[in-house]
Amino acid sequence: MNGRFRLDAEGWLLGARRVPSPNCDARPHGEAVSLVVIHNISLPPGEFGGPGVEQLFTNRLDPHEHPYYAGLRDLRVSAHFFIRRDGELIQFVPCGLRAWHAGVSAWQGRERCNDFSVGIELEGTDDMPFTDRQYAVLNNLLAVLRATYPIRDVAGHSDIAPGRKTDPGAGFDWNRVKNA
């Protein structure tokens, strides 16, 4: 486990940059985190390093800034974590709360994956390889999550919402994820 990462009692990761999102709520009473869902995102699509993802997850995305953003005008989504291509780790929602990342979803016969999962977004696209730094941060983060919660599975968004979602995509190398 990486010494720079540690979760506090609420599920905020010490060592991550904190950007609180309003797009979250309480998990169902007694629900434990047992699933990690891997996503990818870039805003505008295929462009990296800008403020779009942070703006989307904090409801500050200007629909006039880019033609693609108009379709996201009323979207209220979040993830627990976002790993940029340079390895920067940002947290939007504490793990003790339910982030709104999975949408209509099911895993191993259980619906509503947001109830029992942590969502991790990687800056990228379905068909582009992710960076070494992203995999290093992801593996360190997964180690901390596994040490804190009874994580049973790590799945892609496409696994919990087949036919509706395609991420993390062919560019994601599952062989590089420890204990996936």
Q: Is the dihedral of CA 123, 73, 36, 25 positive or negative?
A: positive
Nearest to 81, CA basis, from 144, 129, 28: 144
Give ∠ CA 169-19-34 in degrees, rounded to 5. 55
| Catalytic annotation, pick one of 31, 54, 121, 123 | 121
Instruction: Name the 3-class secondary structure at 128.
Output: coil
Burial class (CB in 10 A: 0-12, 13-18, 19+), 56: buried
Residue 121 annotated among the catalytic residues of the structure: yes
Residues that are catalytic: 121
